[in-house]
Structure 1
Amino acid sequence: MGIVAVTELLNGSNFFTATVAAIPIALLLQNQQIKLGLWYSALFALAMLSKTFQGGLELPLLVNMIAVLLSGFVLRLAPAFAMAAYFVATTTASECVTSLSRIGVSRKVTIPISVVFRFAPTMGEEFRSINDAMRMRGIRLGAKKFWRNPLMLLEYRFIPLVISLAKIGNELSAAALTRGLERPGAHTSIAKIGIRPVDVVVVVLAAVLLVTAYAAT
């Protein structure tokens, strides 16, 4: 993920940028994340078209500035976000913590990462529950109650979410400590990690693709 982000930032060639972006998109599609992969593909394609035709179109200054900023943001960061989405979908908290511990990363880093891995899905579930409850009460963007009192949206949606997230964070931290993450000495794990033949094949193919694209530019 870091390599994808750095590579996109250091090279300005459209062909090389598209080649780098194709790697996480291909991984998303291979992992059956079809909707997300197509969404990133469409977003990246629109940004590439915007960059390609910016010089030939006469747009108002403000519109042109916004188009340049948005296209640059997408071209440089969208591939890294796509790689992050693939990483989160294919890596469990146990695998991540075990891998980091095996390469010598401090527990001051692995414990917060373990909490974050479990925090994000829980946060999404909590937000959806609050959203469904408020929608049943007619408190949603564009509803009559919203126009009568716009602050109601903040009061009844975001304040309960913030309170719930604070409570969930404390519970997840306690759960991580209960599982012995702070126990001194070597830890065991049922997660199977390591470099497999398929990993070597994917890395070699990606390296060959990037070198070929870089040489072509």
Structure 2
Amino acid sequence: MIRKGSARLSPRALKQVHGNLVVSGITSRGLQPVRDLLLSCTVSFHGGMDYARRLFDGIPPPGPDFFMHNAMLRGYAHAGASHAAFAVYSRMETVDLRPDGFTFCYLLRACCAGIGVPACSSAGWQVHAVVVKLGFLEDAFVRNALINMHAKCGDLGVAGMLLGEASERDIVAWSAVIAGHACRGNLDMARQMFDQCRHKDIVCSNVMLGAYAKHGEMEKARDLAV
């Protein structure tokens, strides 16, 4: 029932499923139903993270597993609850659960959510250090998340260095750095990088067009669109 369109379940439906699990013994059929329910809570409705946290904290010993921690990180990252995301990660460390690439992607997204640039940069550098230490820098998704985080936090030199280590076909990475320069009004640098990108797609083009439009450079936007 949970897996058939979990993102469409209402708060009432989720609570009914939870109630049935409690009545039948929340772990009597293994942890998979609890995993599915927790994931549903983190993606289904506004305010679902409060309910997800109550479910997460109420899981009997040995407690939430690795998947459940990642589900909470994902939910908090998308909700912009950066401090809560880092609290969950600290718990992972406490119970000796080794992170994976998704863990760091969620944490890096959380770095850009709900906190100012100095705090974003500080938290992001801490995650960056752990990524390097644990050998996840070769993971393309993690590297792109790092590029995006550094670009949004204003560390464009670092973002550019990481971009140099990425594939030239990695449009996500290029778009993140272009957007980082554009957000700070560096339109000439953004355009220079846009022109250097050999494998532009519609997303990359829209980043540059949006930058011109935001700064009132409508003539340049029209020239680019032609």
- The reply to whether TM is greater than 0.5 is no
Q: Report the TM-score, using the length of structure 1 for normalisation.
A: 0.24
Q: Which has the higher contact order (CA 8 A, sep 6+)?
A: 1
| Structure with the higher helix share, 1 or 2 | 1
Pair member with larger Rg: 1
